[in-house]
Amino acid sequence: MLVTAYLAIVFLLALCVGLELTARRVTPPQSTPTAVANPAFRGFQTIFLRAYLLALWADWLQGWLPQALGRRQTCLLFCLSYSACCLTKLSRDYFVLIVGRILGGLSTSLLATTFEAWYVHRHVDVHDFPKEWIPSTFTKAATWNHGLAVGAGLVANLLAEWLHLGPVAPFLLAVPCLACCGWVVLTDWGKEEAQGVPEVDKQTLLTGTPNGGVTHLSAKARFSRSCHEGLRCLLSDRRVMLLGGVQALFESVLYIFVFLWTPVLDPHGPPLGIVFSCLMAASMVGSSLYRLATSTQYRLQPGHVLCLAVLMAFFSFFMLTFSTAPGQPRPHESFLAFLLLELACGLYFPAFSFLQGRVIPEEKRAGVLAWFRLPLHLLACLGLLALHGEVSGTGGGEGGGGTRHMFGGCAVMMLAALMAVVSLFTLGRHDTDLRLEGNRAEWEM
């Protein structure tokens, strides 16, 4: 298992480089407008640090916090809260660890939305760049995200195992990284706010300044209105409903996977940092394959790629139901299934983001996404509670079959997600909004 992990990371990194060069070669310059000139991108790519644990209430709180504090202050809050989460790992007190988990859930929710909202605001409202550049910027940010994640896994393994500093060492190293992120937000973003920002109009003063919080209308009232409008949009458009179902099923399974991959592989002694780097490299391969598949040479639609990603995830969990059989574990097959799942994630997220941007109106996106993530977290929490109950009842983790049954449940959820994707594809077969050609035509005009 040790040799397998090292060989896998070498192979995946070489594959990433090859696919990246291929994707750049087959994509014509006019089809990928550059976003490098955007000064907001430099600050945006520095904050892509990965975090994992989520709490159910955190997504609702993160929807309210930017309304009350402003985007810039909320980004600073992320740096502080996740730094505190990392420092709680030094304690052996159960209550302190629980507080750390709550802070981790809040921080991850803020990371997933607030920085993106800041970037879109700076891109469109402040610098007045073309909206068609936004997907290109997110593609570049995803590439940086995966590359940093691969490096983070290697550094974590270096600290924890090769230097024998213990499992808490990577968390402590994250604190100065978060401090640097906060310093960039506090200084560089503050300078940008003081330079060349247009005068805010009267409506802005009544509803809240872009980065300065709320003046007259309360944040609670605006957030409540956003949620009501999001629910109305969700119930009135079947495409939005199906897309929300796909996200809830697919991403809730990913959260369950986060808790299960370590217990499945750790008893067989692999270097967990290297394994994590392998998973992130597989996801990077998936992102590169998405760019290649949707290029002008192959012309696959994001809907097709999304269907393929969900099918691959289903097959991955189907494999895991056999490779984690009680008393007959097959770690190499489980590792291969995990790599396949991360490859599916690399295909899923850009395809889903494209469809989400086309289906959900921009002014209602925050409220709709808040409703999307509610069933997502409910499914993840119920799955983990069911796993805990089964393990406790049988008195043994893998020996009781709880992990295998959970993977079987995840496979069923992926099958339901596949049915939702097929329904969405059938419903929007003649919908030009869901096709990539219209976007390319706009770029080429």
Greater pLDDT, 40 or 413: 413
Measured in Å, how far apart are the chain's first and last C-alpha atoms?
Answer: 53
pLDDT-derived band at 68 (thresholds 50, 70, 90) equals low
pLDDT-derived band at 41 (thresholds 50, 70, 90) equals very low
Residue 366's CB: how many other CB atoms inside 10 A?
20
pTM: 0.75
| Structure confidence at residue 216 (pLDDT) | 43
Rounded distance between C-alpha atoms, residue 6 and residue 8, angstroms = 5
Domain at 227-427, CATH from 1.10.1200.30, 3.40.190.10, 1.20.1250.20, 3.30.420.240: 1.20.1250.20
Out of 73-77, 203-207, 333-337, 370-374, least confident range: 203-207
Domain range list for the chain: 44-148+164-189, 227-427
pLDDT-derived band at 343 (thresholds 50, 70, 90) equals very high
Highest mean pLDDT among 138-147, 169-178, 236-245: 169-178
Residue 322 reports pLDDT greater than 80: yes
For 325, list phi and psi in degrees, rounded to 5: -65, 140
| Structure confidence at residue 270 (pLDDT) | 86
Rounded distance between C-alpha atoms, residue 257 and residue 382, angstroms = 14
Rounded distance between C-alpha atoms, residue 427 and residue 423, angstroms = 6
Token pair 């991360």 in the structure block, residue: 342
Mean pLDDT confidence for 143-169: 86
Highest mean pLDDT among 53-67, 314-328, 352-366: 314-328
The closest of 352, 417, 370, 367 to 135, measured between CA atoms, is 352
The closest of 134, 136, 131 to 291, measured between CA atoms, is 136
Rounded distance between C-alpha atoms, residue 243 and residue 230, angstroms = 14
The alpha carbon of residue 126 and the mean position of all alpha carbons in its chain are separated, in whole angstroms, by 26
HEC profile of 127-178: CCCCCCHHHHHHHHHHHHHHHHHHHHHHHHHHHHHHCCCCCCHHHHHHHHHH
Mean pLDDT confidence for 286-315: 87
| Structure confidence at residue 222 (pLDDT) | 64
Out of 33-47, 140-154, 264-278, least confident range: 33-47
pLDDT-derived band at 83 (thresholds 50, 70, 90) equals very high
pLDDT-derived band at 379 (thresholds 50, 70, 90) equals confident
- Asked if 104 contacts 85 with a C-beta cutoff of 8 angstroms, the reply is yes
| Structure confidence at residue 400 (pLDDT) | 46
Mean pLDDT confidence for 319-335: 88
Residue 437 reports pLDDT greater than 80: no
User: Which parts of 158-237 fold into alpha helices (H)?
Assistant: 169-194, 202-207, 219-236
- The string over 87-114, giving b where at least 16 C-beta atoms fall within 10 Å of a residue's C-beta and e elsewhere, is bbbeeeeeeeeeebebbbbbbbbbbbbb
- Asked if 334 contacts 320 with a C-beta cutoff of 8 angstroms, the reply is yes
Greater pLDDT, 294 or 136: 294
DSSP state of 295: S
- Per-residue pLDDT of 237-264, as tens digits, reads 788 888 888 888 898 888 888 888 888 8
| Structure confidence at residue 401 (pLDDT) | 64
Give the number of residues written for the chain: 445
Structure tokens belonging to residue 119 = 């970037």
